[in-house]
């Protein structure tokens, strides 16, 4: 196969291997055949292994959709009558969860914190104390909008002390940064195939506590297509996805999982870290500043502050890099202009070094000063 290799530094989809791309080219098959059901059965079991989930306690449920479907499904399916949702919100993806609560008209508390630091855990605890009707706590692990890592273990412990279910959006850490579902106090986590697994878009999955899913059978039903219990029950009784699965994407995900286990959890995280460190040193060499302090970062997404240079033009720099096979992405922090460099994909430090050669050319082409200019006080 001869497909041009692009280096995606956007926050997913990520750069895939040729073998994952090729895995999609298979004979046509009806997904209702037993052959296909057995592929999904194995896939569901393998997904548990990524987060070291005991199959006696946890299960995984597949959905056809992008990662947002998981947030939608968890929130709308796991809230019992008379309960409310607490969203620990310090970024764009938790804000999306708040928006989902609003669209369904579900009672919720939007506990907002600044986007550039971890949330105040004492305030989380006090909010849970004051609101004994909180039935579900939700937050985001790596806030992909900024690259900030949230203290999920502590938030999960607080949720459990108050008898609430804990759901975590791990879309931009799962299969990259090692996660142990039980140790992190997670009841439900989630991701989609095109992020850390380096598979294709269209397949998402939730890994979570089987007993809670079964209990949720009696919870109010707020969606038909996006109900967790209904999808789980269908998988358990028939082995199939309730409605048509993304067939070719499933084949690619199976190959991506094979490659994940071949590389190994630890080696993969070391590779991501190597690429991330190359991003940080490349930025430092050019005098670019990051919006999030290093000690708060998840090690996968860098939010870079626009330089105070009249010649800086994100679109022009983007277009220059894009034409040469490197994709950079706008930021998502209100009040600070940033762009993002993410290392989610099947890439390594050499790709990042190649990127910085092109980025440097782009800066020269635009007439942007190096080292980058910042007014005092602009971190
Ligand atoms: C990518 C991502 C999602 C899913 O976004 P889609 O636009 O639906 O692909 C959800 N949460 C986080 C933290 C993400 O990084």
pLDDT in tens, the chain (379 residues): 789 999 999 999 999 999 999 999 999 999 999 999 999 999 999 999 999 999 999 999 999 999 999 999 999 999 999 999 999 999 999 999 999 999 999 999 999 999 999 999 999 999 999 999 999 999 999 999 999 999 999 999 999 999 999 999 999 999 999 999 999 999 999 999 999 999 999 999 999 999 999 999 999 999 999 999 999 999 999 999 999 999 999 999 999 999 999 999 999 999 999 999 999 999 999 999 999 999 999 999 999 999 999 999 999 999 999 999 999 999 988 788 999 999 999 999 999 999 999 999 999 999 999 999 999 765 5
From the CB of residue 75, how many other CB atoms can be counted at a distance below 10 Å?
26
Contact 35, 368 (CB under 8 A): no
CA nearest neighbour of 309 among 374, 253, 360: 374
CATH class of this structure's domain 26-262: alpha beta
- Ligand 1, atom 4: nearest CA belongs to which residue? 67
Token pair 């998402």 is found at 204
First to last CA, the chain: 45
Rounded to 5°, the CA angle 248-250-252 comes to: 75
Burial 120-146 (b: 16+ CB within 10 A, else e): eeeebbebbeeeeebbbbbbbbbbbbb
CATH topology of domain 265-366: 3.90.1150
Cα 205 from Cα 233, distance rounded (Å)? 15
Give the span between the Cα atoms of 199 and 60, in whole angstroms: 17
Measured in Å, residue 292 CA sits from the centre of ligand 1 at 20
CB 98 within 8 A of CB 87: yes
Which protein residues touch ligand 1 with a CB less than 6 Å away?
11-12, 66-68, 93, 140, 144, 169, 171-172, 195
Domain layout of the chain by residue ranges: 26-262, 265-366
Looking at the chain, list the stretches that DSSP marks H as alpha helix, in order from N- to C-terminal side.
Answer: 18-22, 34-50, 68-77, 92-104, 121-130, 152-161, 210-215, 228-238, 247-263, 265-286, 314-323, 349-366
Q: Ligand 1 centre from 372 Cα, in Å?
A: 31
């Amino acid at each position: 196969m001869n497909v041009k290799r692009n280096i995606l530094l956007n926050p997913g989809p990520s750069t895939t291997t040729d073998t994952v791309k090729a895995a999609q080219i298979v004979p046509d098959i009806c997904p209702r055949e037993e052959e296909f059901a057995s592929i999904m059965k194995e896939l569901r079991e393998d997904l548990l292994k990524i987060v070291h989930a005991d199959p006696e306690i946890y299960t995984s449920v597949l959905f056809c959709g992008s990662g947002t479907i998981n947030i939608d499904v968890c929130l709308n399916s796991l809230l019992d009558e008379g309960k409310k949702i607490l969203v620990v919100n310090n970024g764009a993806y938790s804000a999306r969860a708040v928006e989902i609560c609003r669209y369904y008209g579900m009672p919720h508390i939007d506990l907002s914190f600044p986007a550039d630091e971890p949330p105040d855990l004492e305030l989380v605890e006090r909010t849970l104390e004051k609101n004994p009707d909180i039935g579900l706590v939700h937050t985001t692990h790596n806030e992909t909008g900024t690259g900030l890592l949230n203290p999920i273990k502590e938030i999960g412990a607080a949720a459990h002390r108050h008898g609430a279910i804990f759901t975590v959006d791990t879309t931009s850490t799962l299969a990259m940064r090692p996660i142990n579902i039980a140790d992190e106090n997670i009841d439900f986590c989630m991701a989609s195939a095109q992020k850390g697994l380096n598979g294709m878009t269209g397949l998402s999955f939730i890994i979570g506590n089987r007993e809670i899913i079964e209990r949720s059978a009696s919870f109010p039903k707020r969606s038909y297509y996006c109900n967790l219990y209904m999808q789980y029950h269908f998988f358990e009784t028939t082995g199939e996805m309730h409605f048509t699965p993304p067939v070719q994407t499933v084949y690619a995900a199976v190959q991506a999982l094979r490659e994940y286990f071949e590389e190994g959890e630890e080696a993969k995280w070391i590779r991501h870290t190597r690429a991330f460190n190359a991003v940080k040193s490349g930025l430092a060499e050019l005098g670019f500043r990051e919006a999030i302090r290093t000690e708060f970062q998840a090690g996968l997404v860098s939010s870079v502050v626009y330089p105070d240079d009249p010649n800086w033009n994100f679109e022009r720099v983007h277009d220059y890099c894009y034409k040469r096979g490197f994709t950079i992405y706008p930021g998502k922090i209100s009040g600070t202009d940033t762009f993002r460099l993410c290392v989610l994909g099947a890439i390594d430090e050499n790709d990042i070094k190649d990127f910085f050669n092109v980025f440097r050319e782009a800066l020269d082409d635009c007439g942007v000063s190096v080292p980058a200019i910042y007014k005092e006080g602009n971190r």
